[in-house]
Chain A
Amino acid sequence: MKVFIYALSTCPWCRKAKQFFKTNNIPFDFVDYDLQSAAEQEKIMEKMLKISGAGSFPVVLIGNQVVVGYNPEKYSEILGLKKGAIA
């Protein structure tokens, strides 16, 4: 399943989300919203509001499922990882 993380460079929960996928050897793509140009930010925020309804980070896309916030249990559940996956 394809994983994409909408993140902020200043957000510790976004870091933890990225770390979760790294530790579990799951490849992922991400964008640090705050480090993008104003034009890019507008595009990204429009997308985020459509899929998550708010401007809160992180927003994690796993396949076609959306998880808002740092939620290792939910990530594991969607990915079908065994219980006790490293968070």
Chain B
Amino acid sequence: MKPGSRKKALRYFFQRVVDPLGYKFTPDEEMADFLLEQEVILEQKHGIPFCPCQGLTKNREENMKIVCPCIPFHREHFDAMKRCWCGLFVHKDVTNPDELPQIPVSQIMRKEG
């Protein structure tokens, strides 16, 4: 496997999933590349590309909720931040991803009442 081929394949798969959800890859190319690189490593270790910024547990069902792209399992949270937790994906209208901070889910769900 050539380096970069797996990242390209992941980009191909993910693009098809996140587009109808209203997201795109972050315009921060360096961050996207770094995160994809971590996902390739996680995929080689576990067979599945997990989110590089969330913790795996023994509970397989819980782990499935952080398989990239994990947007559908965290829709409200991510929509409120206009980005996913690790920042690989952002809302389609985002031009400057540096302006999007990470907001804990507890803060957002509280507002929802």
Contacts and interface: CB of A to CB of B under 8 A. Distances in A.
Whether A and B touch (Cβ < 8 Å) is answered with yes
Interface in A57-75: 57, 68-71
A41 B35 CA distance: 22
A70 B57 contact: no
Contact of A10 (B38, B103, B106): B38
Interface in B21-64: 31, 34-35, 38, 41-42, 52-58, 62
Interface string B62-80: 1000100000000000000
A11 B53 contact: yes
A66 B58 CA distance: 25
Nearest to B107: A68
Contacts of A42: 57-58
A8 B45 CA distance: 15
A54 interface: yes
Nearest to B39: A10
B41 A10 contact: yes
B106 A11 contact: no
Contact of A56 (B31, B34, B35, B104): B104
A55 interface: yes
A56 B53 contact: yes
A14 interface: yes
- Most chain B CB inside 10 Å of its own CB: which residue of A12, A70, A71: A12
Nearest to B109: A53
B55 A69 contact: no
A69 B58 contact: no
Contacts of A48: 55
A41 to B, nearest CB: 7
Interface of B: 31, 34-35, 38, 41-42, 52-58, 62, 66, 85-87, 101-106
Smallest CB-CB A-B distances: 6 pairs: A69-B102, A68-B104, A10-B52, A55-B55, A10-B38, A11-B53
